[in-house]
Structure formats: C-alpha cells, structure tokens
Structure 1
Amino acid sequence: MSVLTPSSQVLQRHEALFSGKHLLVAGDLHDDYVLQLNTADTKVHCSQFHIYSNLQARCKKSHIEFGLLPTESCYENRDTLIYYWPKNKLEAQFQLACLLNNLAKGCDIFIIGENTTGVRSAEKLLSEFGSIQKIDTARRCSLYHFHAESRLAFELDEWWSQYDLQLDDMTLLVSTLPGVFSYKTLDAGSDLLLNALAQQTDLIKGRVLDIGCGCGVLSLFAAKINPAIELISTDVSAPALFATSKNLKDNLINADVIASDVFSNVEGRFDLIISNPPFHDGKETNYNAAETLIRESKNHLKINGKLCIVANSFLPYPKLLAEQFKHVDVIAHTTKFKVYLAS
C-alpha cells in the first residue's frame, strides 16, 4: 500500500496547501499518502473495508473510520477536505452531496481523480454551488479546488434505487445505493448463478456464506429457498453492506452481515460458500480477492462442503480450482459466464 496512486502523486506536488490544516479525507483512496501529510490533524473516512484495515494498521493514532458515510465526529473542526473521486460518477455525487451538506462553510475542498473516471464532470456538477477551479493536470489526473457558497441538500432516502427480482414463483424487492454492484438491475453473472442454484436447491443447507454480497441478492435467494440456513453475508464495501442489511430486513430474513476482506473477519466452517467474486479494484483488473477466495475456501468448508461461484468465461479460474479441489464441475454456462461447483 506504500506505492502512491497517480492521484496521490498529483497531491504530492501541492503538499504546502495542506500544511497545518485540520484535514478530512474521503472518497476512493487506495494508498496511505494522506497520513504522511504535515497537517495539524487528519481524519479519514473509508467506505472500503480493506483500505480501512490497511490504514488502521499503519497509523492507529489517526481518526480513521469505516462506514457508508462519515459520522458527525469526522466533520468536527475540519477546515480542509481532500476527496478522491471514485470510478462511479453517481457514487461521487452521492458522497459529495453528503460531505458538502455537513462541512462548515468556508472549508477548502480539493477534488482529485483520474481523468478516465470522469473527474472532470466535477466542474459542471459543482459550478452552481460555488466557485471551482482546476489547479493541476498531471499523471492523467485532474485536481480541483472548490469553495462552497451554498450547501448541497442531502437526504439518504432519495438515493435508493429499487427493482423487483422475479425467479420462478419468487418475487424479491431489491434496494441498492450508488456504488453498489448491480445498482439498477441484476447482473448477468449473478442471474446465471441464481438459476443454477435453483436447479440444485439441495446445496443450500446448514451454514451458508455469501462472499462479496453486493446488495445481497444471492443471500436473499438462499434464505428464501431454505429459511432454516444460518446465513452470513460479507463484503468490503460499506454501501453494499448497508444495502444488504436493508434488503434482508425488508424481506424478513435474519442473517449476520459482516465487513470482511474475503475471509479476514469470517469464523467457522460452512456447508456452502457462494460468490460472484469481483475482479476489479477501482478501475484496475485485480484477481486477488477471487484467488484468495478459491485458495482459502477449503479451510472454511466443512467435510463435503461446497464452493459455488460464477465468473466470466475468460478468467483463469479453472486451473486454480482444480489445484485446490478434488471435484470441479461447470453446472451452468453462457457465452460469457460459467458457474463452477467445487468440492
């Protein structure tokens, strides 16, 4: 985590701007650069659990928190904000609306992001709320300085998106937030996995673990198929965990919803582990989470326990699965996706 992202390298050119400031950092940060700044004090809000864990391990004295949105204590005595623009424009709007609703007037706001993520749309997004100026362009990134002259209104309830999920004779109401996987509709991979499990409902029993639960669709389906299961839903994303908790509650399902970087916070063994594992971290391709899932699953499965995952057909998982499990079957496939069942 010590290697600086291009965004942090651009901020490094302007370190003097943050000297002695009471700094709040939020957004899609992926390194520990902000903890190296010579500020009066620094508070960091993370919506990704693995980033939060890494920052906590490096600097236990700083105020670092994990959650959907910053708590009130994050805003106390802040005069400067650094916001790392995420890959999802709507997620940026969601987070900035909250931040700019809570920060004190007169706060210096710096927005940094890679141009490919759409950070340049910050100019149009914020222009009617104050003065915004681009102060640097380098490393294929843009850095903006913003002074809010009026606050952005923010009501969390207005940011929910909802859709109905129909599977056989089952209808589930799914609520999601910006930045959560399958925000507007169910993705094709999860849909294939759900239909595969619907054909083999005997797999859904005992203790079931949903890794990378997103908005909780797989968890909802598993619990509706067999209400007697002990269900644990995990993700690194705070918005995903928040959405999953709401969906489980709205659909009258009891489960443990846990922040975990794959198995980092998971205890015990399971009869079934299900997942549509991510292969991106920000905009970069990253197989680490999926490879960790495959390699370590057997240590978290009961005897005769099974791992069932869906993945893009081109991803290099069959060889890794075969190295870790005695039996690996493709139980469903399309031209783009395959569902693997390993035991």
Structure 2
Amino acid sequence: MEYDSPFGRFTLLPLHHHPKSPLQAWSAADDLLLKELASLEPAPQRILIVNDAHGALGTCLHHRRPYSWNDSYCSKLSLQQNLHRNQLLFSPEHWLDATELPKDLFDAVLIKIPKTLALLEYQLTRLRPMLSAQTRIIGAGMVKHLSKSMVQVFEQCIGPTHTSLATRKARLVFSQFDATLNPLTPQPTRYSVPGTELELVNYPGVFSQQKLDLGTRFLLEHFPDASAAEHIIDLGCGNGALACFAARHNPGAHLSLLDDSWLALQSARETIELNKIPNPCELIASDGLDGFEDKADLILCNPPFHEGTRLDSNIALRMFKGAKRCLNDEGKLVVVGNRHLDYHQTLRAHFKAVELCASNPKFVVISASRPR
C-alpha cells in the first residue's frame, strides 16, 4: 500500500499482511503526527518515536534518524520490513526495547498512545529524564480509544496538556514539560497463584496485571501431565505463570518462554527468580514460534486474541501452525481459550488428534497432537 506522507511517498504494509486484508500500516493518528512534525520550525533534530506499531513513523522519518522505543518484537520486525521495502537501512543502535532507556535529551517525542493507562504512565514517567522545557511532546490516538484519563496521565506525568480537534477520528495530545513535577514510576505488581506457593511479577501493560486471569487459572486447574517432558514451551508466556507451574511438576525440564513483549519477558524473568525455579530457562522475544527450530514435548498456550485494540484470530492461528512444526512426534499442544473462539475447529485443521480436556461456561482446555 502506498502512503503519501508529508515527507514523501512510501510503500507500507503491516506484518503478515494478507492481500485481502483491509488493515493498513498507518492510521489517521500517524498521519496527524507526521503533519504536525512537518509544521514545526525549526525542525526538531533529535526525535524519539514511542509505540510505532507497524513502523510507519520510523520509515517516513528515516531521513531524520529517529530513535524508536517499543515493547513489541513484532513492531521491530514491521519497521525492519517496511524500511527494506523502501530501500532504507535499519539502524540497530536507534532501536530500544521497553526494558532499555533512551539517553540524553530529545527535541521531539512522538507517542502513539497505548491501550492501557498503566503502560502509558510507566512510559511517560520513565521518559522524563530525556525531556526539557524545549522538547515538543506530542501524543496521538484514535478518538474512540483516547480517554480523558489518558489526557490526565499526560498532565500528571509530564505537565500542562491540551488536545487538538478531532480529524478523521484521530486526535493529538500536546504536553509541556514541567520540571517541578515528581511523579513516581509505577512498579511491577506481585500476586500469588491460588492454591500454590507461586508468586507472579507483572510489569505495567503486561496481560493480567493485578491478578491471575481466569483462563490461565482454569488451565492450571486442569494442567496436563508434564512429568516426562524434556522440553516445555510457554508460548505467549506473559508473566511466566504456566512455565513456573510446569517447573513445579518437572524441575528437570528445559523451559523456553516466548513472547512478543519485552516487558512480559522481564516479568517472567523476575517471576522465575522470585520463585527460585531450578530449571534451565531461556526467554526469547519472538513472533510466535517463527524462527524457533528446537523441538518440544509440551507446548502450553493461552493465545492473545487482540492486536492492540483490534480483535485478531490470526495470532492464535500462527501460534498453532508454529506449534505443529515444533512438536516432537509424541508431543502435545495444550491450549486454553474462550469458548466462543472455537479453537477446537481451528486445531483440527492442523492436528489429527484434538481432545477437549475441560470446559466451563466461559473457557475450554484443549490438547492437540499428531500434526497433520
């Protein structure tokens, strides 16, 4: 898809784009941000882009050598692919994952506002050392996802804030840095797993921040036999609850924890340390199981079914296809999901043996083996 930006025309596609999909790599919020930046005089020289989901901002602003700060591995892949489509080079030194901190002051900070208040507050407070009274701080989001509470977080964490008029269902948020403010950076939450000695660590923005989600809890109540597994994968691991529970049943198994979010992986890392898990563990930022070559005896998965604020069943489908490739001959994929997502039908297209292990009015636990 061709996008005419204030900085030129670019070919931009979202990750895993399907020709029949209407999904674009840019939104009206991206367009507003770029037009606002193009109007600034003098032109900001040192630019930080936050939460650039599909790499549209980073690609259009490549000539300004911006820094990107992001919690999504898939967003990094999207930026790399869109730069390549436009014969532009990716600069690894200008990419920072969410567990890192940018250095020095920026002239402009462009923020695609995330869907959770907790992550927004976490990001804004951590950004303060890189801001000055001269920094242009501009947030952007679609009106239906931009709440008054989000604007208030800008005011509490950065300083005086106002919004633009809505244009094409998008709006900008302008903040002026107030050096006298001293907001506290939100700390990871900790909570216990009912019926176990496990305690989980959750960073802001990571799924199920305040308590164990009902789907994971249902899977733990109907957990598969992991005693003979030599290699266990926690796919979309979040805070590592499934991997740590598996470790309690099999302290000798090798554990691989994979997630798109670096803050999720940091949560899982600290969960493992807190619970003194003895198993050999590896934590991997990933796009599902793409690029993962090792074989596993057991894959545990509570698949996400949202991408940002949008429902997306393709994430689970890619995970299932990856599991099909990575399972040993006698291996098993065990999935928990909402009943209405109808995962058992999807799994039957890829596995010969699909079994309903447990169900209640809201969730199902399904095992799948013998890949087709």
TM over 0.5: yes
- Work out the CA distance in 2 between the residues paired with 1:182 and 1:239: 13
Match of 1:89 in 2: 117
Secondary structure class of the residue paired with 1:258: strand
Aligned residue runs from structure 1 range 216-231, under 5 A: 216-231=240-255
Q: Which amino acid aligns with 2:261?
A: S
Gaps of 5+ in 1: none
Aligned residue runs from structure 1 range 1-343, under 5 A: 2=13, 3=24, 4-17=26-39, 19-27=43-51, 29-37=53-61, 40-57=64-81, 58=83, 59-62=88-91, 63-71=93-101, 74-127=102-155, 129-150=158-179, 153=182, 158-167=186-195, 170-197=196-223, 200-202=224-226, 205-253=229-277, 254=279, 255-343=281-369
Residues 28 and 85 in structure 1, CA contact (< 8 A), matched pair in contact too? no
Question: Post-superposition shift, 1:323?
Answer: 1.4
Question: Post-superposition shift, 1:140?
Answer: 2.2
- Work out the CA distance in 1 between the residues paired with 2:56 and 2:217: 37
Question: Post-superposition shift, 1:180?
Answer: 0.6
Secondary structure class of the residue paired with 1:159: coil
Aligned residues: 336
- Work out the CA distance in 2 between the residues paired with 1:138 and 1:16: 17
- Work out the CA distance in 1 between the residues paired with 2:324 and 2:227: 16
- Work out the CA distance in 2 between the residues paired with 1:293 and 1:38: 32
Question: Post-superposition shift, 1:289?
Answer: 1.7
Q: Which amino acid aligns with 1:219?
A: A
Change (3 A) 1:338 1:66: farther
Q: Which amino acid aligns with 2:193?
A: L
Q: Which amino acid aligns with 1:323?
A: A
Residues 240-280 of structure 1, C-alpha deviations (whole Å, 9 max, x = no match): 01100000011112411111110124231000011000010
- Work out the CA distance in 2 between the residues paired with 1:204 and 1:150: 57
Match of 2:9 in 1: none
Change (3 A) 1:80 1:39: farther
Match of 2:21 in 1: none
Secondary structure class of the residue paired with 1:138: coil
Query: What RMSD over aligned residues (CA atoms) do the two structures have, in Å?
Result: 2.2
- Indicate the percent of aligned positions where both proteins have the same amino acid: 26
Change (3 A) 1:123 1:342: closer
- Work out the CA distance in 1 between the residues paired with 2:265 and 2:366: 25
Q: Which amino acid aligns with 1:270?
A: A
Question: Post-superposition shift, 1:28?
Answer: 5.5
Question: Post-superposition shift, 1:155?
Answer: 6.0
Residues 48 and 66 in structure 1, CA contact (< 8 A), matched pair in contact too? no
Q: Which amino acid aligns with 1:10?
A: L
